[in-house]
C-alpha cells in the first residue's frame, strides 16, 4: 500500500528581517542596514510517511515547529526544500474558530466556515443538524457568536471540524475543549474515528499521555529538527527519556 | 497556463465568494439602525456637500450639476472604497490565511463585489435624479452594463496589485487614502472634461484612465451620448492591470501565509 502522506526532507524557512514589514521610515533606514535580514529554519529536513488509517502523533516542546508542520501538510506553507506528497483531501483543526465572524449567528458561521474550508453548501446543509446537535448549543445557534463564551465557540468549532471532515484530519491540541462532559463526548468521537480505518489522523500535542493513548505512529521534533519517527511506543520512550 | 488554472480555482469556489459577500453585507448593515439605507445616504450626503460648495456657494456647474456629479461620484466611490480596502485585506485576514489554503484573490474579489453592490444601491438615488434633472434618456444608457463590467475588471486588477503590496508595505493604505482623494480632484467628477484645455485632453485621458471612465458614465447616463474612443484607453488599462494582478497572485500568493 502506498503511503497517504509522504514527506521527504521538508524544510520551512522564515525571513526574520526586522524590516520585513516595511513602512516608509523603514524603507529609508533599510538602505544602510541590509545585513539585518536573517532566516529562521522552522523545520529542517523532516521525513516521515503514513498510510491510510494511521494515527500519527507529533510531539515536541512548545515552539518546536509542530504547528508549522501541520500548516505545511495542509498546504498553507509551501516547503522551501524537500517534497511532500499527499493523497486524498485534507481538513484541518488548526485553529478552531479561525473563520468565525462575531457579528453573525452560529448557524451562519457554520456555513461560512464550511464553505471556507472547501465544502459545498449542499453537503453542509445535509450535515447541519449533526453539527448543531454535537455542539449542544441549542437555540444559541441563532445568536451572534459575539454572545458566545469561549467554551461555546470552541465547541462549535470542534463540532464543525469533526463533522465536516476529510480523508486526512489534523488536530492541534484540541482534546480539552469545553466542559468535562463535552470533553468526554469529543474523546468518544475521536476514538470512534480512530478505530475507523478510513480516516487518517495527525494529532499534535505536547502531552505524551494523549499521544500514547490515541496514536500508532509518532514523530518527535525538537527545535525544528527531527529527533525520531517510528512506532509510538518506541518514540515516546525516547521522548520521555530526554 | 497557470493563470487559467487560477481562474478555474476561483470559479470552483464561487460558493465561498457568495458567502463572503452575503456575510459582509449582513455585518456591515446589521449594526446600524438605518441598515442598508446608509449605503444610499452615504454617497448622497457626499454629493450634497459638493452641490452646496459648487452650485450654491460658487454658483457654477449648471442646472444638471447634481445629477452629473452623482453619476461620477458613484463609480469613484466604488473605485476608492474597493482599492483602499483591498490594500489591507490580506493582513486583516492573517489568521484565516495561516490556517486554510484557498485562492486568496477571492478576498479581493469580495471587496470589489461589495463596492459593486454599493454602486447598485446608489442607483436607487441616481435613477430618480435622472428624471428630476431631465437627463437625456437614450439607448446609449444601455452601455451602462458594459462600463460597469470594465470598471469591475479595472478595480479588481488594481485591488489585486495593491493587496499584494499591502502585505509587505503597510503604509500603502494611508498613501492610497491620499492618492484616491487626489484622483477625485484630478478627474472629471466635480467638473466636466471640457474644463481641460482641448490640446491637453488627449494626454490627460492617457495619463488618467479614470477620467475616461467618469466622463463616459456621465455621457451615457445624463447627456445621452455614446461611449467615445477614450473608453478604449480605459479598457486597455483595465486589462493590463488585471493581467499584472493575476500574475502577482499566481506567483506570490503561496508566500503570503509566511509573510502576514
Look up the domain containing B140 and give its range: 13-259
Question: Which residues in chain B are contacts of A95 at CB distance < 8 A?
Answer: 95, 99
Percent of chain B whose predicted confidence (pLDDT) is above 70: 98
Contact A52, A26 (CB under 8 A): no
Q: Which of A2-6, A143-147, A204-208 has the lowest mean pLDDT?
A: A204-208
**B184/chain A closest Cα distance in angstroms:** 24
Q: Averaged over B22-50, what is the pLDDT?
A: 80
A133 has a pLDDT exceeding 80: yes
Task: Give residue A39's pLDDT.
Answer: 80
B259 touches chain A (CB under 8 A): yes
pTM attached to this predicted model: 0.89
Question: Which residues in chain A are contacts of B170 at CB distance < 8 A?
Answer: 21-23
Alpha carbons A191 and B100: distance in angstroms, whole number: 25
Pairing of strands A81-86, A225-231: unpaired
CB contact set of B25 (below 8 Å; sequence gap of 6+): B36, B114, B117
Interface of B with A in 28-87 (CB under 8 A): 30-31
Whether B8 is covered by a domain: the verdict is: no
Of the pLDDT bands very low, low, confident and very high (cuts 50, 70, 90), residue B220 is very high
Nearest CA in chain A to B28: A103
A19 has a pLDDT exceeding 60: no
Task: Give residue B39's pLDDT.
Answer: 74
Other CB atoms within 10 Å distance of the CB of residue B144? 14
Question: Which residues in chain B are contacts of A103 at CB distance < 8 A?
Answer: 26-27, 30-31
Contact A99 B102 (CB under 8 A): no
B127 has a pLDDT exceeding 90: yes
Contact B98, A72 (CB under 8 A): no
Interface of A with B in 172-191 (CB under 8 A): none
B93 touches chain A (CB under 8 A): no
Contact A49, A5 (CB under 8 A): yes
Q: Averaged over A212-233, what is the pLDDT?
A: 89
B173-202, pLDDT tens digit by residue? 999 999 999 999 999 998 888 888 989 999
- Of the candidates A75, A112, A121, the beta carbon closest to that of B101 is on A75
A37 touches chain B (CB under 8 A): no
- Of the candidates B15, B97, B259, the beta carbon closest to that of A20 is on B259
Whether B6 is covered by a domain: the verdict is: no
Task: Give residue B40's pLDDT.
Answer: 80
ipTM of the complex, rounded to two decimals: 0.86
B129-155, pLDDT tens digit by residue? 999 999 999 999 999 999 999 999 999
Percent of chain A whose predicted confidence (pLDDT) is above 70: 85
Distances B178 to B83, B173, B175 between C-alpha atoms, Å: 12, 9, 5
Task: Give residue B26's pLDDT.
Answer: 87
B134 touches chain A (CB under 8 A): no
Contact A95 B170 (CB under 8 A): no
Contact A92, B99 (CB under 8 A): yes
Question: Which residues in chain B are contacts of A23 at CB distance < 8 A?
Answer: 169-171
**Residue that the C-alpha cell 507529533 belongs to:** A58
Whether B3 is covered by a domain: the verdict is: no
A24-35, pLDDT tens digit by residue? 666 666 554 555
Task: Give residue B235's pLDDT.
Answer: 97
Based on the structure, what is the number of domains in chain B? 1
Alpha carbons A208 and A61: distance in angstroms, whole number: 11
A191-221, pLDDT tens digit by residue? 888 887 788 888 887 778 888 888 889 999 9
**A237/chain B closest Cα distance in angstroms:** 31
Whether B2 is covered by a domain: the verdict is: no
Contact A108 B259 (CB under 8 A): no
Of the pLDDT bands very low, low, confident and very high (cuts 50, 70, 90), residue A128 is very high
A76 touches chain B (CB under 8 A): yes
Q: Which of A78-87, A204-213, B106-115, B214-223 has the lowest mean pLDDT?
A: A204-213
Number of helices (H), then strands (E), in chain A = 8, 9
A228 touches chain B (CB under 8 A): no
Contact A44, A21 (CB under 8 A): no
A20 has a pLDDT exceeding 60: no
Contact A14 B258 (CB under 8 A): yes
Q: Averaged over A46-62, what is the pLDDT?
A: 89
Contact A74 B255 (CB under 8 A): no
Whether B144 is covered by a domain: the verdict is: yes
**Residue that the C-alpha cell 518527535 belongs to:** A220
Contact B13 A20 (CB under 8 A): no
- Of the candidates A77, A92, A120, the beta carbon closest to that of B15 is on A120
Other CB atoms within 10 Å distance of the CB of residue B92? 13
Burial letters A204-229, b for 16+ CB under 10 A, else e: bbeebebbbbbbebbbbbeebebbbb
> How many Cβ pairs closer than 8 A exist between chain A and B?
77
Amino acid at each position: 500500500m502506498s503511503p497517504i502522506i509522504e514527506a521527504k526532507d521538508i524544510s520551512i524557512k522564515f525571513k526574520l528581517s526586522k524590516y520585513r514589514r516595511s513602512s516608509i521610515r523603514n524603507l529609508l533606514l533599510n538602505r544602510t542596514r541590509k545585513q539585518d535580514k536573517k532566516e529562521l529554519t522552522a523545520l529542517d529536513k523532516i521525513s516521515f510517511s503514513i498510510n491510510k488509517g494511521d494515527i500519527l502523533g507529533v510531539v515536541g516542546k512548545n515552539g518546536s515547529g509542530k504547528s508549522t508542520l501541520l500548516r505545511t501538510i495542509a498546504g498553507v506553507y509551501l516547503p522551501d526544500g524537500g517534497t511532500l506528497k499527499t493523497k486524498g483531501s485534507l481538513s484541518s483543526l488548526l485553529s478552531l474558530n479561525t473563520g468565525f465572524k462575531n457579528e453573525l449567528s452560529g448557524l451562519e458561521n457554520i456555513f461560512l466556515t464550511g464553505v471556507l474550508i472547501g465544502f459545498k453548501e449542499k453537503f453542509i446543509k445535509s450535515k447541519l443538524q449533526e453539527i448543531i446537535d454535537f455542539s449542544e448549543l441549542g437555540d444559541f445557534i441563532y445568536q451572534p457568536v459575539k454572545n458566545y463564551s469561549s467554551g461555546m465557540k470552541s465547541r462549535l468549532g470542534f463540532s464543525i471540524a469533526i463533522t465536516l471532515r476529510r480523508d486526512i484530519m489534523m488536530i492541534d491540541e484540541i482534546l480539552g475543549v469545553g466542559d468535562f462532559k463535552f470533553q468526554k463526548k469529543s474523546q468518544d468521537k475521536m476514538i470512534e474515528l480512530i478505530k475507523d480505518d478510513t480516516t487518517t489522523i495527525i494529532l499534535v500535542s505536547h502531552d505524551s499521555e494523549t499521544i500514547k493513548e490515541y496514536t500508532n505512529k509518532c514523530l518527535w521534533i525538537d527545535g525544528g529538527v527531527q529527533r525520531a519517527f517510528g512506532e509510538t511506543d518506541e518514540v515516546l520512550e525516547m521522548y520521555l527519556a530526554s | 497556463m497557470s493563470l487559467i488554472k487560477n481562474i478555474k480555482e476561483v470559479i470552483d469556489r464561487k460558493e465561498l465568494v457568495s458567502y463572503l459577500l452575503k456575510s459582509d453585507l449582513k455585518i456591515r448593515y446589521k449594526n446600524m439602525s438605518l441598515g442598508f439605507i446608509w449605503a444610499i445616504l452615504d454617497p448622497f450626503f457626499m454629493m450634497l456637500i459638493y452641490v452646496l460648495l459648487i452650485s450654491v456657494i460658487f454658483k457654477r456647474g449648471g442646472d444638471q450639476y447634481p445629477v452629473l456629479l452623482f453619476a461620477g461620484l458613484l463609480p469613484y466611490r466604488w473605485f476608492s472604497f474597493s482599492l483602499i480596502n483591498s490594500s489591507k485585506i490580506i493582513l486583516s485576514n492573517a489568521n484565516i490565511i495561516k490556517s486554510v489554503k484557498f485562492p486568496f484573490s477571492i478576498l479581493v474579489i469580495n471587496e470589489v463585489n461589495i463596492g459593486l453592490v454599493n454602486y447598485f444601491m446608489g442607483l436607487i438615488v441616481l435613477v430618480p435624479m435622472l428624471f428630476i434633472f431631465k437627463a437625456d434618456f437614450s439607448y446609449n444608457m444601455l452601455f451602462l452594463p458594459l462600463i460597469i463590467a470594465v470598471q469591475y475588471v479595472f478595480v479588481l486588477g488594481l485591488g489585486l496589485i495593491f493587496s499584494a503590496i499591502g502585505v509587505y508595505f503597510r503604509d500603502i493604505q494611508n498613501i492610497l487614502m491620499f492618492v484616491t482623494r487626489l484622483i477625485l480632484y484630478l478627474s472629471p467628477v466635480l467638473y466636466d472634461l471640457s474644463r481641460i484645455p482641448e490640446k491637453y485632453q488627449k494626454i490627460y485621458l492617457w495619463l488618467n484612465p479614470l477620467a475616461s471612465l467618469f466622463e463616459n458614465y456621465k455621457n451615457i447616463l445624463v447627456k445621452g451620448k455614446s461611449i467615445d474612443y477614450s473608453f478604449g484607453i480605459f479598457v486597455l488599462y483595465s486589462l493590463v492591470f488585471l493581467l499584472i494582478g493575476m500574475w502577482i497572485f499566481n506567483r506570490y500568493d503561496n508566500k503570503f501565509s509566511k509573510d502576514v
